[in-house]
Amino acid sequence: MKGWNGKILRLDLSRAKTEVQAYGVDMALAFLGGRGYAAKILWDETRPGMNALSQESLLVFATGPLTGLGFPNSGKLVVAAKSPLTCGYGDGNLGSLAAVHIRKAGFDAVVASGVAKKPSYVLIIDDAVEIIDAEDLWGVGTFETERKLRERHGRNVGILSIGPAGENLVSYSTIISQEGRSGGRPGIGAVMGSKKIKAVVVKGTREIPVANGEAVKHLRAESFREILKKPNYAFWRRQGTMSTIEWSQQNSVLPTLNFREGIFEHADEIGGALMEKQKATQRGCPDCNMICGNVIYDAEESLSELDYENVAMLGSNIGLSDLKQIAVLNRMADEFGLDTISLGNAIGFAIEASEKGLIKEKITWGDFGAAKAIVEDIAYRRGLGELLSRGTKIAAERLGGDSWKWAMNIKGLEISAYECHSTPGMALAFGTSPIGAHHKDAWVISWEVSFGREGYTPEKVDKVIEFQRIRGGMFESLVACRLPWVELGFELDWYPKFLKATTGASINLDDLFKVSDRIYSLIRAFWVREYGSNWTRRMDTPPLRWFEEPLTLGRYKGSKLELQKYDSLLDLYYKKRGWDARGIPSRVTMENLGLDSVASELQKYVELSPSASY
Ligand code: SF4
């Protein structure tokens, strides 16, 4: 095989054994890599109903056919497992030198099973794999862990690690690399912690086999030059995603006070313009000339890497208006290995619960000291932090009252930083995201606000599916960062060319979208197999706050979503995907996607509709 290494490294942590598994071109062409491989492995090899944090669970680190070859923005990998937060499929991507080195070590993915006898880290140097005692690193933050491991193994190694949050099995703990790259929102860090793996350190020295080395070199140089020519390049380098604070405020979609409102009176104190004045340096993923991690000195004089999501969720969403204080919370989250989006939701939820007298703690909007204490308590699962460490869905179940209506999650995953009272298309994108409410798969909101934003039109369904195919299927499986395309208009046609040079295969965009559809139906099957007869279309529906409590401020004052109309969007979405009225792929749909065996297996758990006409 060219392009793919054709090998997966298997780590059996319980027995301290490793094995190299070869796979064939059929799997490569059907699932590409990254999310595709993760979904396939988790479907094939996990038992529905298993505890996500048990011996039985699997942890997947998956690269793609472009990883390690130096194509633009391709220094990334997908981390995936059954989620302890949602009990469904969970994944995330992060930029890391580890992605590049896994491929150069001769593998396309690493899959860990079992549990190590004591806290350990995995050292991979080409074929040589060791599981090494990490008791001295257990309890140490991710930045310090990485520094210590670099002292031992040299600067040019890739490192993925967890912090205390992952060790303590916080349901939305992540995996961190390079002091700011974070991936695996649905608790993939906790899965790593449950396996007692503090870090993976990897170094590869081999050539990745490609079909046409000259073409790879030429395309690489040409594509990077093309990115530099894009009109928005200079502004992007100045602000990265941070200008989205101002954009969201202008468009009334900036999450504010636990998603009650879409505008924040102090937005200009936390936005891209102010960040630019405070910027100390920039960081980014390997193989990227758009580096978008903007780093400032926080209120405690430490460096903190900011982006839109973490500033909105730890700023306006909790009423905090000091960028340097927000940066402290963000840095703490990265050191503890906590997802900032779920964290901002959890803090907002706690403040609202305090306001409504559902908890005894007195916490108010914008209280930096209280927020800081909560972040630490969540990481160590102490006091109120224990309740919040389970995510807002479980917290609401435990608190009772009507808190479930304003526990801002879908399928258990907290909503990322776009307020949707007046944007039904983005609400649908959140509702149908394959991991729970995340913007990664279909960020349709920038298109939607200029396209009759409050309407429930078929074009919105088409746009959600189109974006899911590109962003959630193609980019997550290649694995490449979507931002050149999203932010600079870097054309999609480049990717089939990259694939041709790398693998020799002629795979056009339609082929890639078919792979995307296969992955989406497979991931949906995973969820349905886990939930069985408890699966309902309501799992694709946003929280009631957006339907029942209209906005009280700004241009869209009085706006709220309408459930019946949202359901009509969902119906159309299901129909176009070939899923039935419950949101379950029909037998015919799965057969058309080559998922015949998946259909037969799923039939054991739910009655399948023969076709999606209903
Ligand atoms: S644009 Fe940002 S997120 Fe994407 S690869 Fe570059 S640094 Fe990473």
* Ligand 1 touching residue 73 (CB < 6 A): yes
Residue 73 to residues 68, 229, 290, Cα–Cα distance (Å) = 10, 16, 8
Most ligand 1 atoms within 8 A of CB, residue of 443, 481, 486 to mutate: 481
- Residue 611 confidence (pLDDT): 85
CA-based torsion, 97, 99, 102, 106: positive or negative: negative
- Percent of the chain whose predicted confidence (pLDDT) is above 90: 98
- Other CB atoms closer than 10 Å to residue 475's CB: what's the count? 29
d(C-alpha 585, C-alpha 590), whole Å = 7
Most ligand 1 atoms within 8 A of CB, residue of 78, 290, 479 to mutate: 290
One-letter amino acid of 101: H
What is the mean predicted confidence (pLDDT) over 78-102?
A: 98
Q: Are the beta carbons of 521 and 465 closer than 8 angstroms?
A: no
The owner of tokens 């699966």 is 535
- Residue 614 confidence (pLDDT): 45
One-letter amino acid of 378: I
* Ligand 1 touching residue 284 (CB < 6 A): yes
Q: Ligand 1 centroid vs 236 CA: distance in angstroms?
A: 11
Q: Whose CA is nearest to atom 2 of ligand 1?
A: 292
How confident is the model over 368-409, as pLDDT tens digits? 999 999 999 999 999 999 999 999 999 999 999 999 999 999
- Residue 612 confidence (pLDDT): 67
What is the mean predicted confidence (pLDDT) over 89-113?
A: 98
d(C-alpha 263, C-alpha 70), whole Å = 40
How confident is the model over 275-291, as pLDDT tens digits? 999 999 999 999 999 99
How confident is the model over 409-462, as pLDDT tens digits? 999 999 999 999 999 999 999 999 999 999 989 999 999 999 889 999 999 999
- Residue 613 confidence (pLDDT): 55
504, exposed or middle or buried, with CB in 10 Å at 0-12, 13-18, 19+?
middle
The owner of tokens 């924040």 is 264
Query: In the 8-state DSSP scheme, what is residue 197?
Result: E
Rounded CA Rg of the chain = 22
Q: Are the beta carbons of 52 and 191 closer than 8 angstroms?
A: yes
What is the mean predicted confidence (pLDDT) over 476-487?
A: 96
Give residue 513's pLDDT band: very low, low, confident or very high (50, 70, 90): very high
Quick one: residue 96, left, alpha or beta (phi over 0 = left, psi -120 to 50 = alpha)? Answer: beta
Q: Are the beta carbons of 517 and 593 closer than 8 angstroms?
A: yes
d(C-alpha 18, C-alpha 405), whole Å = 47
- Residue 387 CA, distance from chain mean position: 23
Six-digit token string for 480: 């490449």
* Ligand 1 touching residue 486 (CB < 6 A): no
Most ligand 1 atoms within 8 A of CB, residue of 439, 483, 490 to mutate: 483
Q: Which residues contact 221 (CB under 8 A, 6 or more apart)?
A: none
Query: In the 8-state DSSP scheme, what is residue 159?
Result: E
d(C-alpha 48, C-alpha 36), whole Å = 19
How confident is the model over 449-471, as pLDDT tens digits? 998 899 999 999 999 999 999 99
